[in-house]
């Protein structure tokens, strides 16, 4: 169904836009929250007015929250959690937990839906976006570390994991290089084996030509002898006729 947005809706549109959405999304969220109305012909006629009002409101809110965005950009938050030896959390740091930490930090109420992140389930450092307005989306740093250990331990563990991954990649590349070298050697051997029969065939051909030459010479000599014998016979017949 089509709706006319009365307010900016993140990842959907801005005030005054007409958007096609799922009926359930419109009836259960957009309309009850006062964010949109059904896009009837009468409502659509108000789109320009709603769009201008939205632009004025957006500029005002961006100005009000601009300082908050600057304050929040790059802020570091830490969370202690239980985790396995592989760094997998027994649970997660969810968006509600992140929203509460951000709200406490800046003194402005932030809802969980404004946190642009999946639940964090691994030890380490994470970057999380906080949507203050459709235009202001600062990013914060979040370190999740083991309970009973300092936050720096998470970074050390993350560096160790990265080093292991790098070493595994180097080993894999080394194995591929060895396999590639063996394949190249095999190709050279195959090429050499292919050249050998060709050389042997060439030698056989030369030998056959050499053997053929004496046979041709003998054939020519025999032909000359036959011609000479025929000439002698013709001469003898001519002498008999003369007598």
- pTM attached to this predicted model: 0.59
Write out pLDDT tens, residues 146-187: 999 998 888 887 776 666 666 778 778 877 777 776 666 766
CATH H superfamily, domain 71-160 = Ribosomal protein L9, C-terminal domain (3.10.430.100)
Please tell me which residue, 7 or 10, carries the higher pLDDT value.
7
Spatial separation of the C-alpha atoms in residues 156 and 164, rounded to whole Å:
12
Q: Return the pLDDT at 195.
A: 57
Mean pLDDT value across the chain = 82
Domain 2-70 in CATH 3.30.413.10:
no
For β-strands 120-122 and 88-93, DSSP reports them as antiparallel
Q: Kindly give the residue spans of alpha helices, DSSP state H, lying in the chain.
A: 23-25, 41-44, 47-72, 95-106, 151-242
Domain boundaries, the chain: 2-70, 71-160
């Amino acid at each position: 169904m089509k709706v006319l947005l009365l307010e900016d809706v993140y990842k959907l549109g801005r005030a005054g836009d007409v958007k096609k959405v799922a009926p359930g999304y419109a009836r259960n969220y957009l309309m009850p929250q006062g964010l949109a109305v059904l896009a009837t012909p009468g409502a659509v006629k108000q789109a320009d007015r709603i769009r201008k009002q939205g632009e004025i409101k957006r500029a005002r809110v961006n100005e009000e929250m601009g300082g908050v965005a600057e304050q929040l950009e790059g802020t570091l938050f830490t969370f202690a959690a239980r985790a396995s030896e592989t760094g997998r959390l027994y649970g997660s740091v969810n968006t509600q937990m992140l929203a509460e930490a951000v709200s406490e930090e800046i003194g402005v109420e932030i809802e969980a839906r404004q946190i642009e992140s999946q639940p964090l389930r691994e030890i380490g450092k994470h970057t999380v976006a906080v949507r203050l307005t459709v235009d202001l989306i600062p990013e914060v740093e979040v370190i999740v570390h083991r309970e009973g250990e300092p936050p720096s331990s998470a970074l050390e563990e993350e560096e160790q994991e990265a080093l292991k991954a790098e070493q595994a990649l180097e080993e894999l590349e080394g194995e591929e290089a060895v396999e590639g070298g063996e394949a190249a050697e095999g190709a050279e051997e195959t090429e050499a084996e292919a050249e050998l029969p060709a050389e042997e065939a060439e030698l056989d051909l030369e030998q056959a030509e050499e053997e053929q030459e004496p046979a041709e010479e003998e054939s020519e000599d025999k032909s000359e002898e036959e011609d000479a014998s025929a000439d002698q016979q013709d001469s003898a017949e001519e002498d008999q006729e003369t007598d």
